[in-house]
Structure 1
Amino acid sequence: MKKYLYIAIAVVVFFFICWIFPKVNRRTVTATVNKTERIRGSVKQGEQHNDKYLIYALDANNKPHTFQNTDTWIWFKFNSSDVYAEIQDGKKYDFSIVGFRIPFLSMYPNIISVSKPE
């Protein structure tokens, strides 16, 4: 019986780590914005829209990056619309991001903050 309990605990811990790790690996990418886009999620009647802002950019090595800009409870970021408003096409920014690009899940690194490089 103890064996099954340990296996169950290991499975729960594994899934928790898989869920939390992409949300806590903060890093900075400096890139020039090519395009910004707002994706409107589907909603049921009476619910809020689930919008996602996408930012397409190239770094100094011409490597393409796609970031999402959404609110996140883990980082206490609730100003995605304000962050999106300050990002302009053709400008270079330091993007503080968390997460990974996982194409088959349509997941992108999330922008936590944006600043102009010094």
Structure 2
Amino acid sequence: MRWFLTALGVLFGITLFLFLDYSLPSKQTVRITNTYNRLTDIGANAIFYASPDTGTVQNAAGQRDVRFIDTVRPNGKPYVYRNEDTGWIWPPYFKYDSSNLHAAATDRRSTAAAPEWVSITSYGWRVSWMSIYPNAISVKPVAGPDVRPFNWPAVIILLVMGALLMLIWRMWNQFRERSIDPTLVRLDARGDAARGRVSRWWKGR
């Protein structure tokens, strides 16, 4: 039984880590090289794209017109973002300005000869073989490729979640001390008394 609970705890921990890693905002310092729209096939990876509730439209072939932002990291490796509204669905970024973000990103395009570096805040993963892209939330200029803005939103969210978990843990401990533990003690006492009666009855036979 103990190994099952351990495995269940490990599985829960991995699931929680992946959930937070996907949902929490991250910041990348990059150089924007291109912005464009592209008809994209939405199939088994639909969970990693915006919900139809946000106003996105797919054609009969299951294709969606998605905005993309091509970038290059300071180490020279390419990194591609999608740019979709999130609406009121999860994650709750309440993003409705993908058109404005597209215009701002287009205005920040630059070349390797005359680079202009920006910090892009996004959520999600980049998985090339599954055509999964992180969703860009904001674009802000930075002084250079070595600038790494502190990720305050993610830290604040984690602190709030930690405080809530601590509160729940304390409430559970108080409930256990006031209700569960006394009940278990009474049950143990009744069990001891019942075993004592059975033992006396057996000896008196």
1:1-118 equivalences under 5 Å are 20-21=19-20, 23-40=22-39, 42-44=58-60, 50-72=64-86, 73=89, 74=91, 75-88=93-106, 89-90=109-110, 91-118=116-143
Deviates more, 1:82-91 or 1:33-42: 33-42
| Alignment partners' CA distance in 2, 1:111 and 1:67 | 6
Identity within the alignment, %:
24
Q: Following the alignment from structure 1 to structure 2, what is the Cα–Cα distance between the partners of residues 39 and 19?
A: 28
RMSD of equivalent CA atoms: 2.8
Which structure: larger Rg?
A: 2
The aligned length equals 104
CA separation in 2, counterparts of 1:21 and 1:70?
Answer: 20
Quote the Cα distance in structure 2 between the aligned partners of 1:19 and 1:27: 14
What secondary structure does 2:75 align onto? coil
Greater relative contact order: 1 or 2 (C-alpha under 8 angstroms, separation 6 or more)?
A: 1
How much has 1:34 moved relative to structure 2?
1.2
* Greater share of helix: 2
Over 3 Å counting, the alpha-carbon distance change for 1:19 and 1:71 in structure 2 is: farther
CA distance in 2, matches of 1:104, 1:37: 21
Structure-2 separation of matches of 1:43 and 1:18: 35
Unaligned residue ranges in structure 2 (runs of 5+): 1-11, 41-57, 111-115, 144-205
Structure 1 residue 21: Cα displacement: 4.1
